[in-house]
Amino acid sequence: MNNDVFKTRAIDFYLSKSCNKSCHYCTAWTLEMRNLTVDMDFLSKTLKWLSPYIVRIQLLGGEPGLIKNLDEVVDEIKKHKNLIPSILSNSFVRKRYPYMLDDPDVLYQEHLVLDFHEDRIEKLGNFDFFEENDKSNYNIIIMTPNYFKYRKNHDLSRVDHKNTQFKKFNSRSPNFIDMEQAPEFDRRMCAAFPKVPVIDFELQRIRHCSKKVINGSRRYAVTKENIDKMMNYELFMFEEYCKKCFEPIDKRPQEQILDIVSVGKVMQ
């Protein structure tokens, strides 16, 4: 699996909001252990409707490693040639389902760092960072203000390779400063297919935006019609909360969207 997989459209599957950690910047978690067995009928139906489209299915929550039938979920996704199983874990998957890291058809991304401090790295698990590898195992490192302070005084060259994804910090944390908003046109483009929409398995609903799970985003029934609309940029609209979004919006090729959505339609 090569890095081109990251160019596909992605959909978050919030399998459960249960988590064994309580990160202050997270958008969806509870320490209450609930909804830990995925409804396979609901999953199969949802995947069938998504299967005509090339999509990266991002399994998260909460913490996906807590899911009791995560292996069944991954196997079900792999039945569809257009669907790419991807797991985002705080390292609990490495502890409970270690064999998944050796599966070449599974993209495994690990958010191991809670934050950086002047003299140490505060981790969410007792593991080392991934070295460069061909197993599709990736470090996710959020470039918080403390990341830059730590990096200035400590050697972090061990994570400077193709299997580390550095991401800008966002405005969800109460400890992070607000960022300058993206131009409104870019936010309207994002609203047509937000990065990323969510299938909420607890509610069995489509959510407009993963960044508004706590405070609420538009919800839609999970039907073939709605999934087709979503994948063709016809389900979601520019919402009131989009106007205030401070999330960084990746510069995706606008031609790709404009081929499907006219500027006038997006700007409505």
Please say whether the dihedral angle defined by the alpha carbons of residues 62, 65, 71 and 77, taken in this order, is positive or negative: positive
pLDDT in tens, 116-167: 998 899 999 999 999 999 999 999 998 888 899 999 999 999 999 999 999 8
Q: Which H or E element spans position 186?
A: helix 184-192
- Residue linked to tokens 């979503």: 230
- Token pair, residue 267, equals 């700007």
Separation CA 14–CA 35 (nearest Å): 10
Closest CA to 203 of 10, 92, 46, 2: 46
Specify whether the CB–CB gap between 14 and 198 falls below 8 A.
yes
The SS3 call for residue 148 is helix
Closest CA to 227 of 98, 57, 66, 78: 57
pLDDT in tens, 10-68: 999 999 999 988 877 776 777 778 889 999 999 999 999 999 999 999 999 889 999 99
pLDDT, residue 143, reads 87
Residues 6+ apart with CB under 8 A from 6: 56
Least confident of 102-116, 131-145, 226-240, 243-257: 243-257
Q: Which H or E element spans position 94?
A: helix 92-96
